[in-house]
Structure 1
Amino acid sequence: MPDTLVAPTETFHRPASIDEELRATAEVRFLDLPPRPAAMLDGEGPPEESSFAPRLPGLYATAWTLRFALKCRGILTKVGPLEGLWWTVDGTTDLDVILAPGRDLWRWTLLIGLPNAAEPAELEAAVEAGRARLAAPYAGNLRIETLAEGRVAQVLHLGPYATERPTIERLHATIAATGLRPRGRHHELYLGDPRRSAPDRLRTIIRQPVE
């Protein structure tokens, strides 16, 4: 979905608690996901690098601050991948968010999943550290919310973000074939470091909550 992504300067890690969620393949899989906290920041319009880049320091500062706080309690975790929720200005979700002709209508939330082991005070301290890394227009929007998707279908897309459409259509066709239907927002998880990957080697998990 994004045109480009700016990776963090730190080593990229995945949270041990969601390893199963990240074992996506080209075959569509159905999973039941537990609720988890996530650091979130909203945006709108075309997903240019200039839109994403100012938000990333706050998200990664939140995630890394929490990781170190938990390590001090003897709980070892890893910082997970950048993720995105996508919809349109009128609330439309699912396939329409990808196929809509006007990218100016897009709305999105960037997020990084956080460990369930965190205490409320640790979460608050982490988000304050994240806000300190953001310019005024973004600091007030950084927050931690619970992401509760439940039953989802997901598939791995290999290649440029601009070529996701056939993968997304196949995902939705599989959902329909099983008698389920999409609900909630289109969800993408961006694996690896896009700075070090050729466009045809980019890996993106395409996820859709279902009912």
Structure 2
Amino acid sequence: MKERLESVKDRIRQVADKCGRNPETVRLVAVSKTMSADKVREAIDGGAAIFGENYIQEAREKIEALSSYPVSWHFIGHLQTNKAKYVVKLFDLIHSVDTLKLARELNKQAGKINKIQEILIQVNIGEEASKSGASVKELKKLTEDISQLENLAVRGLMIIPPFYNEPEKVRPFFSTLRELRDEIRKEAIPNVAMDELSMGMTGDFETAIEEGATLVRIGTAIFGERK
């Protein structure tokens, strides 16, 4: 595990250096869904500091079991509105906010525990019916509407692009997300930082870094193939 983590971190550093970026501006999210608490502990011992989870119940058990470790937990899966009350108690950053309805419920639940919940807005640039995410057309209005919610803080954008075996085919989706981020940043919307771009997984994270990723979500290269 430690060797795999070091290998991924080395690849992140190399590609960041190559494209003139400070490697410290790219953070590794170890995608630990379906992995046991023991496996996550092993990754922590190997140097992982941020973990991405997709399922509330599974994540809650791990977070409680590993509560003594100073790590950060990110929710990266599709989120249903009725799970909002759980997710705001467990996660530092939610990557997958894609509707105003969900944002309002997260805001309501965060308010109950006096928390400012940091979120990313998920964008469905490929307009795939099988994937969640706001459309490009509705992104600006959605961002403006969410910015009015006092217990949420928009920190950037997230994408799960169409799957291709060739990273170069995914590059246009990454570059488009960066351009959308830059456009919204120019609007200087209050309560919207647009500092983060969550994009890139095991097969294409180097391309994502070249296009501006600040959070890369990597599971297989760290934990191995999932059953």
Indicate the TM-score class for this superposition, using the shorter chain for normalisation.
under 0.3
When normalised by structure 2's length, the TM-score is 0.26
| TM-score normalised by length of structure 1 | 0.28
Q: Greater relative contact order (Cα 8 A, min sep 6): structure 1 or 2?
A: 1
